[in-house]
Structure 1
Amino acid sequence: MRAVVVETPGELEQLKLTQNVEMPTVGENDVLVRIAYAGLNFMEVLIRRGDYLRNPKYPLILGSEASGIVEQVGANVKDFKPGDRVAVLSGDRGCYAEYVCVDETHVVPIPAEMELRTAAAYPLQVLTAWGILFASARIREGDWVLVHACAGGVGLALVQMARIAGCQVIGTTSSEDKAALAREMGCHHVINYTQQDFGREVRKIVPEGVNIICDSVGKVNVIGNLRSIANFGLIVVFGYASGEPKYDEKLLWGRSCGITMNGLYHLVPHRTEFNRAVRETTQWILEGRLNLHIGQEYDLADVQEAHRQLEGRQSQGKLLLRINSELK
């Protein structure tokens, strides 16, 4: 099969399209999926560069999420069969390829009304956003929510879900184009952090501070987050694009606020909550309340350019790789 292989960590040239990669082996609890589209995520930039918190073994196939058609199932798999349309969570590797094999608990059925193109933008970012707001933060109607990188894939999902929950939403981004997109998706207030101190601007909008901060940026946001958070508020960290954040406990105590980390793969084993997340978010998409904004698509051979856009923060919404896009 064709796949994008990273032999050793490094720059864009480490993304190598390889033609004759060995097919994955299907275990008794596994589902083999022929991939239509793969989603791109900043986590994959970190893995490619060797900057990821966990230390993966190289060489590896990048890719964390995809959509496609079930090709084969293991002997113990009961909920999926060949021909099913699905979305896939593959951990931190495997989806920049024509096929991926994952445990059945990491496979999500896709309704007939949802295109596979849309489904590729769904599993990692949408379910991550749900977990941040409803599992970690347990948001309530009327809360003020600050979303960093609000025009990215997770950011746009956070904005829309917070609105669905009846919250007031402030977003930060780096350009007017991105700000316009965030407003279009329902963000009440957008701050351009390249021109304004977001911590001070937040306090102008809501003097008592925000209840929840959703932060995938990390290190450079620490001071601004502490300025922005309300007493008894919660900072949810789910990424570190600018480096690992370090919060002084004394400063957190000064706000009586908390900080937590959120990772989607802690939600997956909690099947009641995970199934609720899938059920609610799928329904919101079908109802048109949750719009998965797809920014650009790239052929698998153009993966270096896709990473260039993602790494340079030039993208809006979700980026996809077309792999077997003829699949329906």
Structure 2
Amino acid sequence: MRAIRVAAFGGIENLTLESNYPLPAVGKKEVLIKVSAAGVNPVETYIRSGMFALLPELPYTPGSDAAGVVQEVGSEVTRFKKGDRVCTVRTLTGSYAEYTTAEDKFVVHLSDKLSFAQGAAIGIPYYTAVKALQIRAKARSGERCLIHGASGAVGIAAIQFAKAMGLHVIGTAGTKEGMALVKNTGADLVFNHREDGYVKAIQDAIGGVDIILEMASHVNLQRDLDLVNTRGRVVVIGCRGNIEINPTSTMAKESCIMGVNLMEVTDEDFHEMHHVIRTGMEVGWLDPKVSKVYPLGEAKTAQHDVINNQGTTGKLVLDTTK
């Protein structure tokens, strides 16, 4: 099979396409999937560069989000059968490949309403949004939620889930196109986070917010602490560097800063998140937005774009059939 392989940590030049890589073996609690599409996430660039807390053994195939068709199941797998359309939130052998394996507990049936490209856009974005809002922030209907950087894949997922939960959603983006996508996805108010004074504009419009989902905490964390209400929650989803904050901001308001990490998830959490994702597909609020699709051989370009493109508008996906 064809697969992207990484033999050394470093730049995107370390992503290489192998044409005759062997198919992975299937364990008794595992599923072999013929991958049609693989999601591209910022975390995969951190891992490839060696700048992540948990690093795989070299060499490895990147990727956790895959969508495709089940080809084989292990002897103890009962929820899936050959021919099922599925998507993953975690794989064992990487999703940047024509085939991958995953533990059955990290696999979900993919609705016929969604394409494989959309299925590849579910994993990290939607599970992150669900964990951030439901499990970490414990959001309640009627609360005000600011999604700081809402036009990317996680932001779009968060808007959709927040609206399904009954939250009042405020989103930010950095381009007119991004702002339009955020508004069309369901945000009640949209602001341009590249404009001077946008934080004051939010305060003037609604006062403060109860929950903030933060995609760039290395830039915005102090602003978040100024914006959040008493006993509000700032959920850190993305960070690419250090930032200095004034802790009195959180002391005075008794606010809370918390992180989200999909590698730190209990089986109970996954069961809860699976239920939300399946329900979202069934009732229709889960509607992934795919920004661009690349052939598998253009993984270098895709990883460059997922980090460097400004004003992101949706999910980047690899078409593993091309």
TM-score by length of 2: 0.92
Amino acid at match of 2:218: K
Say if 2:108 and 2:274, in contact at 8 Å, map to a contact too: no
Equivalent in the alignment of 1:299? 295
Say if 2:93 and 2:100, in contact at 8 Å, map to a contact too: no
> What's the CA shift for 1:183?
1.0
Aligned match of 2:313 in 313, 316, 324?
A: 316
Query: Which structure 2 residue ranges, 5 or more long, are not aligned?
Result: none
Alignment of 1:233-312 (within 5 A): 233-240=232-239, 242-243=240-241, 249-267=247-265, 269-270=267-268, 272-285=271-284, 289-312=285-308
Q: 1:297 to 1:230 in 2, by over 3 A?
A: same
Equivalent in the alignment of 1:199? 199
Say if 1:231 and 1:255, in contact at 8 Å, map to a contact too: yes
Amino acid at match of 1:304: K
Q: 1:157 to 1:33 in 2, by over 3 A?
A: same
Alignment of 1:4-153 (within 5 A): 4-90=4-90, 94-153=94-153
Equivalent in the alignment of 1:157? 157
Q: 1:248 to 1:50 in 2, by over 3 A?
A: farther
Give the secondary-structure state (helix, strand or coil) at the position aligned to 2:318: strand
Residues 173-228 of structure 1: CA deviation (Å, up to 9, x unaligned): 22121111111111222222222244333322222x11001112221111111111
Amino acid at match of 1:291: D
Residues 39-82 of structure 1: CA deviation (Å, up to 9, x unaligned): 11111121122222323332221111010111111111111121
Say if 2:226 and 2:249, in contact at 8 Å, map to a contact too: no
Equivalent in the alignment of 1:210? 209
> What's the CA shift for 1:245?
5.9
Q: 1:129 to 1:92 in 2, by over 3 A?
A: farther
Residues 269-324 of structure 1: CA deviation (Å, up to 9, x unaligned): 11541332233221243xxx333111110000111221222111343101110013
Higher deviation after alignment, 176-185 or 53-62? 53-62
Say if 2:222 and 2:246, in contact at 8 Å, map to a contact too: no
Q: What count of residue pairs does the alignment treat as equivalent?
A: 320
Q: 1:45 to 1:71 in 2, by over 3 A?
A: same
CA RMSD of aligned residues (A): 2.1
Equivalent in the alignment of 2:172? 172
> What's the CA shift for 1:20?
2.0
Query: Which structure 1 residue ranges, 5 or more long, are not aligned?
Result: none
Identity of counterpart residues, as a percentage?
30
> What's the CA shift for 1:117?
2.5
CA distance in 1, matches of 2:243, 2:84: 41
Q: 1:290 to 1:27 in 2, by over 3 A?
A: closer
Q: 1:120 to 1:195 in 2, by over 3 A?
A: same
Give the secondary-structure state (helix, strand or coil) at the position aligned to 1:243: coil
Residues 105-136 of structure 1: CA deviation (Å, up to 9, x unaligned): 01111233333222111222122212211222
Say if 1:299 and 1:323, in contact at 8 Å, map to a contact too: yes
Equivalent in the alignment of 1:186? 186
CA distance in 1, matches of 2:145, 2:249: 20
Say if 1:215 and 1:237, in contact at 8 Å, map to a contact too: yes
Q: 1:92 to 1:311 in 2, by over 3 A?
A: farther
Equivalent in the alignment of 2:219? 220
Q: 1:246 to 1:263 in 2, by over 3 A?
A: farther
Residues 226-280 of structure 1: CA deviation (Å, up to 9, x unaligned): 111111001111222x325676654321221112222334446115413322332
TM-score by length of 1: 0.90
CA distance in 2, matches of 1:266, 1:10: 25
Superposition misfits of 4+ residues, deviation over 3 angstroms = 244-251, 264-268
Residues 12-35 of structure 1: CA deviation (Å, up to 9, x unaligned): 212211112232221111111110
CA distance in 2, matches of 1:225, 1:214: 9
CA distance in 1, matches of 2:242, 2:57: 21
Say if 1:142 and 1:166, in contact at 8 Å, map to a contact too: yes
